[in-house]
Amino acid sequence: MSKRIVCKFGGSSVADANQFKKIKAIIESDSNRKIIVVSAPGKRTSKETKLTDLLYSTYDLASKGLDFSTPWKLICDRYLEICADLNIAPKIKDDLNALEQKMISSPETLTTDFLVSRGEYLCAKIMAEYLNATFVDTFPIICFDDKYRVTTKSYSDIASALKDESKVYVLPGFYGSNLHGEVKTFSRGGSDITGAILANAIEAEKYENWTDVSGMLMADPRIVERPMPIEYVSYREIRELAYSGASVLHDESIAPCRAKNIPINIRNTNKPEDPGTIIGPTPKTVKHPITGVAGRKGFSMIYIEKTMMNKEIGFGRRVLAVLENEGLSYELCPSAIDSMSVVVDSKALYAVQETVLEDITQQMRPDRIKVFPGISLIATVGHGMTDKIGVAAKLFTALAENSINVRIIDQGSSQINIIIGVEESDTEKAINAIYKAFIS
């Protein structure tokens, strides 16, 4: 396996020339840091708009033939300012001029994905120039099939494009190409996925994801006061935590690294001395039974009750088939002897609720069917909970002591997570209660 490290720098890490300088120092401090992936410049102050969002606004206006000069000027000024502050020739001026001409003369030839992808493209060009590194565009080497999956061939194309182990390469994150030869972006925050795909393709030693926080915390700091940092979290734990709202990394960036056991290290560009969080393959011996607790609002529970349900073969499958027909995926499906509940995303349910309830009623003839909206799912996650007696007792005692009514209980058979459903208004209280019960 190669010793090379893939480093992805997020929007805040490339927000201005000063951040570029920090990146240079980081790259120079470890000669294995050879593959650099960048996002588009992010906000410098909370009032500013991210360049990607300015590009979306520009596209909206240009595609309608409207005056796009306000957001466009902010974009051009930002890139040119970075070049000037870094003392490098503003070669990207030609790209900016060509884009502007295109938006004026033939806006119909532009696609949203193409225009917004220029945020990363231009940033990578400046970074390559500044680091005196080789720029490699991701457009021809990351290709999506018709189901929006990255093709197998992309991995070998990436490996051969980045094969010279002595070189430092800079690549734009966030996009690739589709089968029609057009730019196609990942979902928002997708530069994380680009970095993970590159790490997989070159079998990197490590995938460093540089951002503006020193790794993950055991709970959301907006909810719990000064939560402890997470030094190490396994791929499985992070999936559970990320799903439940702990966001630090795009959740689709885990799988490519997990497939090759490549550790992901979340690092802080502004505090490179901090070790950050490692996301890796093996569960570690832990100090606390829980690795983290996270919660997410916005769920609804479809509750179905029918006497003798347990004897009716295929009941569950047919209920889920109704959801499948409406394109609705479910999150949890706790069941009892004569009842089952299906927890779904409230927004997704809203659009098809009437049909779903009608179809279940017609096909299953339940004694009762009701939707309970406003549910929050809270995941308590940790390999340390496995085979540990008293974990559930501690968790539910803490909730009871805080007068929190538990609507749903689900413990994965792996025992690394306990998911509870509570009223949305109890979310913050429940997360605090659980955190305090385990971390004292």
Residue 194 and residue 264: Cα distance in Å, rounded? 13
Taking the complex as a whole, the smallest distance from the CB of residue 43 to ligand ASP amounts, in Å, to 11
> Where does this chain touch ligand ASP (CB under 6 A) — which range of 100-108, 184-192, 278-286, 368-376?
184-192
* 190 forms part of the interface with ligand ASP (CB under 6 A): yes
* 71 forms part of the interface with ligand ASP (CB under 6 A): no
Taking the complex as a whole, the smallest distance from the CB of residue 192 to ligand ASP amounts, in Å, to 6
Can you tell me which of 12, 191, 269, 432 binds ligand ASP, judged by CB under 6 A? Answer: 191
Q: At what angle do helices 315-325 and 346-364 cross, to 10 degrees?
A: 130
CA pseudo-torsion sign 258, 260, 265, 269: negative
Comparing CB distances to ligand ASP, the nearer of 172 and 421 is 172
Please state the φ and ψ torsions of residue 397, each to the nearest 5 degrees.
Answer: -65, -45
Residue 218 and residue 366: Cα distance in Å, rounded? 42
Comparing CB distances to ligand ASP, the nearer of 141 and 322 is 141
Q: Give the binding-site size for ligand ASP (rule: CB under 6 A).
A: 13
* 59 forms part of the interface with ligand ASP (CB under 6 A): no
State which residue has the least CB distance to ligand ASP: 191
> Where does this chain touch ligand ASP (CB under 6 A) — which range of 99-107, 160-168, 189-197, 210-218?
189-197
**Strand 406-411 with 417-423, pairing:** antiparallel
**Strand 339-345 with 292-305, pairing:** antiparallel
* 52 forms part of the interface with ligand ASP (CB under 6 A): yes
* 13 forms part of the interface with ligand ASP (CB under 6 A): no
Can you tell me which of 71, 173, 176, 421 binds ligand ASP, judged by CB under 6 A? Answer: 173
Taking the complex as a whole, the smallest distance from the CB of residue 403 to ligand ASP amounts, in Å, to 40
**Strand 134-135 with 169-172, pairing:** parallel
Residue 230 and residue 284: Cα distance in Å, rounded? 12
Q: What is the DSSP letter of 133?
A: -
Q: Which residues of 104-125 are buried (b: 16+ CB within 10 A; e: fewer)?
A: eeebeebbebbbbbbbbbbbbb
Residue 86 and residue 128: Cα distance in Å, rounded? 12
Can you tell me which of 174, 207, 210, 438 binds ligand ASP, judged by CB under 6 A? Answer: 174
Ranges within 98-127 binding ligand ASP (CB under 6 A): 119
> Where does this chain touch ligand ASP (CB under 6 A) — which range of 98-106, 188-196, 234-242, 353-361?
188-196
* 44 forms part of the interface with ligand ASP (CB under 6 A): no
* 195 forms part of the interface with ligand ASP (CB under 6 A): no
Can you tell me which of 4, 33, 34, 50 binds ligand ASP, judged by CB under 6 A? Answer: 50
> Where does this chain touch ligand ASP (CB under 6 A) — which range of 155-163, 185-193, 198-206, 261-269?
185-193
* 268 forms part of the interface with ligand ASP (CB under 6 A): no
Comparing CB distances to ligand ASP, the nearer of 161 and 193 is 193
Kind plus residue range of the DSSP H or E element containing 203? none
Taking the complex as a whole, the smallest distance from the CB of residue 8 to ligand ASP amounts, in Å, to 8
- E-strand ranges in 5-79 read 5-9, 33-38
Ranges within 23-42 binding ligand ASP (CB under 6 A): 39-40
C-alpha pair distances (Å), 231 with each of 47, 101, 268, 272: 32, 49, 13, 15
Alpha-carbon Rg for the chain, nearest whole angstrom, is: 24
Taking the complex as a whole, the smallest distance from the CB of residue 266 to ligand ASP amounts, in Å, to 14
CA angle 4, 7, 13 (to 5 degrees): 160
Comparing CB distances to ligand ASP, the nearer of 40 and 377 is 40
Residue 28 and residue 2: Cα distance in Å, rounded? 18
Taking the complex as a whole, the smallest distance from the CB of residue 127 to ligand ASP amounts, in Å, to 14
Kind plus residue range of the DSSP H or E element containing 381? strand 368-381
> Where does this chain touch ligand ASP (CB under 6 A) — which range of 82-90, 134-142, 182-190, 239-247?
182-190
Taking the complex as a whole, the smallest distance from the CB of residue 250 to ligand ASP amounts, in Å, to 7
What is the distance of C-alpha 251 from the center of its chain?
Answer: 4
Question: What DSSP string describes 239-303?
Answer: HHHHHTT--SS-GGGHHHHHTTT--EEEEETT-TTS--EEEESSPPP-SSS-SEEEEEEEEEEEE
Taking the complex as a whole, the smallest distance from the CB of residue 10 to ligand ASP amounts, in Å, to 6
Comparing CB distances to ligand ASP, the nearer of 120 and 331 is 120
Interaction site with ligand ASP (CB under 6 A): 11, 39-40, 50, 52, 119, 173-174, 188-192
